């Protein structure tokens, strides 16, 4: 599997599963993918930017006004350059914001500024009751109708102590699907 040079924006949101996103970033980078990480403020309550910066070998965007060199806003540059966006983990709050088109943070702005046709993959992680709530189900259906691909969730022991649907899909499966989508785009493009 080779997607050398592909650019993936990894959106990390506020879930205990955020630690698994570190592995996702590492494995994608090892596969030759250029990973740019965007962390929400809530994600930073669970993990710090440092492991992402080290393992992706690049800067981490933690706020809407984080700017690197140059004149173009980081969220616009990332959206312009992205071959794919992966939101992992994706909380119920993030899914609701995506469905509503809210752009109150860097991740929301990247998602709204994407070039048409850029694949968006989402790996949800939340309490099972939150996943099954009618509002979340409606948001998932709406996002699916817009072309967002959902990777999981799966059943298992959840961090809240319950067993059920809501666990983030295994890192290997997430990375495998990202690579397959990137490969598909390379063949078409």
pLDDT tens-place string over residues 53-71: 999 999 999 988 876 666 6
Contact indicator for 132, 98 with CB cutoff of 8 Å:
no
Tokens of 69: 């060199």
Residue 153 to residue 14: CA distance in whole angstroms: 16
Q: What is the largest CA-CA distance in the chain?
A: 48
* CATH at 159: 3.40.50.1950
Give the three-class secondary structure for 35: strand
Specify the long-range contacts of residues 73-80, CB closer than 8 Å, at least 24 apart. Answer: 73/109, 74/106, 75/38, 75/106, 75/109, 75/110, 75/113, 76/109, 76/113, 78/9, 78/36, 78/38, 78/110, 79/9, 79/109, 79/110, 79/111, 79/112, 79/113, 79/114, 79/115, 79/118, 80/113, 80/115
**Residue 30: inside a domain:** yes
Each of the 189 residues of the chain gets a pLDDT tens digit; together they read: 357 789 999 999 999 999 999 999 999 999 999 999 999 999 999 999 999 999 999 999 998 887 666 667 888 999 999 999 999 999 999 999 999 999 999 999 999 999 999 999 999 999 989 999 999 999 999 999 999 999 999 887 667 677 767 889 999 999 999 999 999 887 765
Beta bridge partners of 150: 122
Judge residue 50's burial from the number of C-beta atoms within 10 Å of its C-beta, 0-12 exposed, 13-18 middle, 19 or more buried: exposed
Give the three-class secondary structure for 21: helix
The predicted model scores a pTM of 0.94
Residue 77 to residue 167: CA distance in whole angstroms: 32
Phi (first) and psi of residue 9, to 5 degrees: -95, 125
pLDDT at res. 103? 95
Which residue range is the domain that position 55 belongs to?
7-188
Catalytic residues: 160
**Residue 2: inside a domain:** no
- How many domains does the chain contain in total? 1
User: What's the angle, vertex CA 48, arms to CA 45 and CA 49, rounded to 5?
Assistant: 130
């Amino acid at each position: 599997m080779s997607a050398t040079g592909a650019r993936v924006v990894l959106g990390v949101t506020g879930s205990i599963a955020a630690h698994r996103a570190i592995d996702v970033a590492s494995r994608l980078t090892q596969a030759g993918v250029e990973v740019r990480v965007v962390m929400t403020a809530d994600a930073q309550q669970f993990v710090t930017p440092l492991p992402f910066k080290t393992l992706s070998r690049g800067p981490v965007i933690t706020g809407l006004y984080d700017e690197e060199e140059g004149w173009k806003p980081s969220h616009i540059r990332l959206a312009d350059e992205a071959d794919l966006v992966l939101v992992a983990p994706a909380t119920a709050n993030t899914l609701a914001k995506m469905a509503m088109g809210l752009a109150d943070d860097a991740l929301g702005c990247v998602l709204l500024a994407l070039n048409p046709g850029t694949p968006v993959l989402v790996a949800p992680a939340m309490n099972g009751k939150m996943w099954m709530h009618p509002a979340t189900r409606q948001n998932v259906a709406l996002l699916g109708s817009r072309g967002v691909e959902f990777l999981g969730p799966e059943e298992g022991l959840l961090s809240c102590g319950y067993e059920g649907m809501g666990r983030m899909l295994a890192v290997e499966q997430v990375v495998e699907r990202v690579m397959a989508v990137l490969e598909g785009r390379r063949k078409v493009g």
